[in-house]
Structure 1
Amino acid sequence: MKAQYVIIVSLLAVVLLVGCGTTIPGGYEGLHWGTYSGVDTTVYGNEFKWEWVWNSVVLYDVRWKTQSEKVDILSNDDLHMDVEVALRLRPKPDELYFLHIEIGQQYYEQVVQQQFRSISRAVLSQYRYTDIPKKSLEIQNAILAQLKVNLENKHLELDAVEIKHVDYPERVKQAADLKLATEQKLLQKEYELKIAEKDATIKIIEAQGQQTAQKIIDSTLTPTYLQYRALDIQKELAKSGNASFYFVPVGANSIPIILETGMGSKK
């Protein structure tokens, strides 16, 4: 009976000891919290932390996290639009004790969210709606810089701000589509004009080539050359036995006119 009692007590002790531990996962850090002593300043990393059943470990995710907010703004040129902005942040691991004591685990909702929305709206409202995409890097840096000033002693690291999406009013979208369609038509017209100009240039070059060739031909047809060619023709015709020809030297530049009598001999 005594042995059974010892075994039962031992098992209960093991279960109690194992059940009172907390494993701190990777990417998290923890603070010891005691029922009677409160939160301890020591920060624990990825490890198994043994605790009495009446104590616990407060866990904080210290990895970089991205929080997004949609803010409605009135641009510098009085246009209402919705802009989605994102903030990348995390708790400072070596300041977890102060973060927990002063703010708590809901630090984003408690101190960051409203500041992020207000600063984003204030900065974005300084720009025309057409400048927001073109100057997004400048806007993001301005929002981040102001956030760092406002949250300087809040035990948080702020890494980056990003403009993720701009939702323009429907009339702006329609105007943008119309502008794009007009630009496409202009590009098509410019292309057609360039093709027409090239075709015209080719035709001009061809005409100039023909004109030059004709001038060369005309310059070579001198009276002497024509007389020479006429004599060659006379010699060839004289060899023909199928027809009779008369050569009348009354043509222009004394070039003979050749007349066929149609009475040549037949073979």
Structure 2
Amino acid sequence: MDKLPKIALPVVIIAIVVIIIISKSAVNISSGQNGVLFERFGGGVVTDEPALGEGFHIVAPWNDVFIYEVRQQTLDESMKVLSSNGLDIRLDASVWFEPQREKLGLLHQEKGENYVQRVLMPAIRSATRTVVGRYTPEQLYASKREIIQSEIDDEMQQQLKDQYIQVNRILVRDVSLPENIKDAIERKLRQEQEALEYEFRLTKAVQEAERQRIDAEGKARANEILNASLTSNILKEKGIQATIELSKSNNSKVIVIGSGQEGMPIILGNN
């Protein structure tokens, strides 16, 4: 019985050491995360192997594991940039991004855990300055937001080409101009609309006048043709036919004979 404590003590010590080693060696990586292994005695950051995936891992206690979020993340930025003529433009944008999983080791080695502040934020600010700097305030006010988004996205893709970061989408939430510039642009647009409306009315008036002229010319031409076709013989024949028709009426009537050779009878009804 005296020997039991002497045997139990080393066992307890060994068990404690094992527990410490396991606790230091065990790494649990949650969903949506990956781990970058740093081998203290094996060359540093492991870049030639895939990052540690989700789940439970055992690593040597002298090594470290750096956990990265690999799901899509959002970065919201509010920036003041200059237009092509040097006026301040406020632009609010959101970036959907994620680190490239297959190059997570290189991202950690070259950029570090705060890669968002070191790489992503400067990239979106630079891309926004470049794109907005191409336009005047009037063009920014009139341009569709989708066009600006597309150009900023293209610019960011170029800047982040070898930075191990994947940009999924750029969303421009708002483009704000100085109030006085905005008011001036709105006045100009209203004046342009009024000018277009006046031009439209003038065009309609000219078209209506042209229509009436063509209509009058058509009627005049028709009358000329009709007058040319109505000879004296035709008129006399039509008068005789009308007289005959009137004479067939049962009502009493007075017939007045016109004078001269061309005189036509006139029948006056008497009901």
- TM-score by structure 1 length? 0.65
Residue 242, structure 1, aligned to residue 252, structure 2: yes
Deviation per CA, 1:2-29: give whole Å up to 9, x if none. xxxxxxx9xx99xx77998544234321
> Cα distance 1:55–1:205, how it changes in 2: closer, same or farther (>3 A)?
same
Q: Where do 5+ consecutive residues of structure 1 fail to align?
A: 1-8
> Cα distance 1:30–1:208, how it changes in 2: closer, same or farther (>3 A)?
same
Deviation per CA, 1:130-177: give whole Å up to 9, x if none. 4555874556534543x348xx5xx53254784724221112211222
Q: Where do 5+ consecutive residues of structure 2 fail to align?
A: 1-11
Shift of 1:60: 0.6
Q: Which stretch has the larger CA shift, 48-57 or 185-194?
A: 48-57
Residue 208, structure 1, aligned to residue 217, structure 2: yes
Letter in 1 for 2:33: Y
Deviation per CA, 1:201-229: give whole Å up to 9, x if none. 43233323322332233223322223333
Given that residues 73 and 83 in structure 1 are in contact (C-alpha distance below 8 angstroms), is that contact kept between their aligned partners in structure 2? Answer: yes
Residue 167, structure 1, aligned to residue 202, structure 2: no
> Cα distance 1:224–1:159, how it changes in 2: closer, same or farther (>3 A)?
same
Residue 227, structure 1, aligned to residue 236, structure 2: yes
Q: In 2, distance between residues paired with 1:257 and 1:126?
A: 91
2:69 to 61, 73, 76: 61
Q: In 2, distance between residues paired with 1:215 and 1:208?
A: 10
Q: Which stretch has the larger CA shift, 50-59 or 121-130?
A: 50-59
Residue 81, structure 1, aligned to residue 74, structure 2: no
Given that residues 69 and 85 in structure 1 are in contact (C-alpha distance below 8 angstroms), is that contact kept between their aligned partners in structure 2? Answer: yes
Matched with 2:202 is 193
Residue 141, structure 1, aligned to residue 154, structure 2: yes
Matched with 1:6 is none
Give runs of aligned pairs for residues 24-43 of structure 1, distance below 5 A: 24-31=29-36, 41=46, 43=51
> Cα distance 1:259–1:102, how it changes in 2: closer, same or farther (>3 A)?
closer
Letter in 1 for 2:57: K
Letter in 2 for 1:29: N
Indicate the RMSD between aligned Cα atoms, in angstroms.
Answer: 4.6
2:76 aligned counterpart, secondary structure? strand
Matched with 2:165 is 157
1:44 aligned counterpart, secondary structure? coil
Q: Which stretch has the larger CA shift, 71-80 or 189-198?
A: 189-198
Matched with 2:191 is 182
2:263 to 228, 234, 255: 255
Letter in 2 for 1:200: A
Q: In 1, distance between residues paired with 2:200 and 2:60?
A: 81
Given that residues 226 and 255 in structure 1 are in contact (C-alpha distance below 8 angstroms), is that contact kept between their aligned partners in structure 2? Answer: no
1:63 aligned counterpart, secondary structure? coil
Given that residues 80 and 169 in structure 1 are in contact (C-alpha distance below 8 angstroms), is that contact kept between their aligned partners in structure 2? Answer: yes
1:71 to 79, 88, 94: 79
Deviation per CA, 1:104-127: give whole Å up to 9, x if none. 322212454346535643664465
Q: Which stretch has the larger CA shift, 76-85 or 46-55?
A: 46-55
1:60 aligned counterpart, secondary structure? strand
Q: In 1, distance between residues paired with 2:229 and 2:126?
A: 91
Given that residues 82 and 133 in structure 2 are in contact (C-alpha distance below 8 angstroms), is that contact kept between their aligned partners in structure 1? Answer: yes
